[in-house]
Amino acid sequence: MEFNLDGNLWNQLSDLMSTFGISLFIALCILVIGRQVVKILIKVINSALERSKTEDTVRIFVTNLLNTLLMIVVFIAAINQLGIETTSIIAVLGAAGLAIGLALQGSLSNFAAGILIVIYRPYKVGDYIQADSHLGTVLDIQIFSTVLKTPDNKLVIVPNGSIMNGSIVNFSHQAERRVDIIASCSYDDDIDKVKSVLTDILSKDERILSEPKPRIALSELADSSVNFIVRPWVKNADYLDVYYSLLEEIKKRFDQEGISIPYPQSDVHIHNHSE
């Protein structure tokens, strides 16, 4: 079987293939070069934000968002070079985006929550927070989620929507924190002596701040103990160290001073009734 192509038709096909080949080559160049240009622009923007001492939270979010938007522009420019009408593609993408948006309402709410986190900044990278019942240090704030590292070195990815819809506790926001400790003694102990010992313990710890002043007060006459509140102020970074060391020092000093730390107990009385 033989196929004979008319000379004019062959020339037209040859010209079409040549034109399409050139357009395809240019489109690929736009993709490759555009990707490299976007990388350079993102690096420049990232460096500028770092020099302006912009918070890591805002810097990471802005660079990630710009990278996505610029790559979309590069992709549309490459398609346009092939002679494909980008207006129709944008319309189709808009309709598809609407359908996808309805199907992915949760993801869109997470995206909106991510924008709110960047704007209002309830926390930033490096802060120790409690969010959506999770405790951890913020490693990264992404478009849809926040990455936390727990004290036992677990990685927790929390959706931004869940964080913004709940309560956020930021333990790192303030420079100082108050340590709250309950110290108990027996009803037989001298409460003035107990307060004097607790005051001496706090005065000897250099990590405890003089302002605001520590507070020691009798807070409760419980069933089997007299309870004192011990509330010194410390720098945020010293909180846990001071908390644990104070508990240990209180126990040691109470033992040295003969102050008893009561524990719950019950008295059982047995009565014998003769006939």
**pLDDT(153) > 80:** yes
Same domain, 98 and 31: yes
Residue 52 sits in a domain whose CATH number is 1.10.287.1260
Asked whether residue 111 is domain-assigned, the answer is no
pLDDT for the residue numbered 7: 55
Number of domains in the chain: 3
Q: Is the pTM of this model over 0.95?
A: no
Same domain, 96 and 142: no
In the structure, how many helices (H) and strands (E) does the chain have? 7, 10
Which structural domain, as residue segments, surrounds residue 137? 123-170
**How many whole angstroms separate alpha carbon 151 and alpha carbon 174?**
20
**How many whole angstroms separate alpha carbon 48 and alpha carbon 169?**
31
Cis omega (within 30 of 0) for bond into 262: no
pLDDT for the residue numbered 258: 92
Same domain, 48 and 28: yes
Same domain, 98 and 180: no
Q: Choose between 105 and 70: higher pLDDT.
A: 70
Residue 241 sits in a domain whose CATH number is 3.30.70.100
Same domain, 231 and 188: yes
Asked whether residue 266 is domain-assigned, the answer is no
pLDDT for the residue numbered 1: 44
Residue 150 sits in a domain whose CATH number is 2.30.30.60
Asked whether residue 144 is domain-assigned, the answer is yes
State which amino acid sits at residue 228.
F
> Which among 100, 114, 170 has a CA at the least distance from the CA of 145?
114
Q: Which tens digit of pLDDT belongs to each residue from 42-97?
A: 888 888 877 776 667 667 777 887 888 888 888 878 777 776 666 666 666 666 66
> Which among 126, 13, 108, 104 has a CA at the least distance from the CA of 59?
126
pLDDT for the residue numbered 141: 85
User: What's the pLDDT band for 3 if we cut at 50, 70, 90?
Assistant: very low
pLDDT for the residue numbered 143: 78
Asked whether residue 109 is domain-assigned, the answer is no
Percent of the chain whose pLDDT exceeds 90: 39
**pLDDT(105) > 60:** no
Per-chain mean pLDDT for the chain:
82
pLDDT for the residue numbered 242: 95
User: What's the pLDDT band for 227 if we cut at 50, 70, 90?
Assistant: very high
pLDDT for the residue numbered 8: 62
pLDDT for the residue numbered 169: 93
**pLDDT(188) > 70:** yes
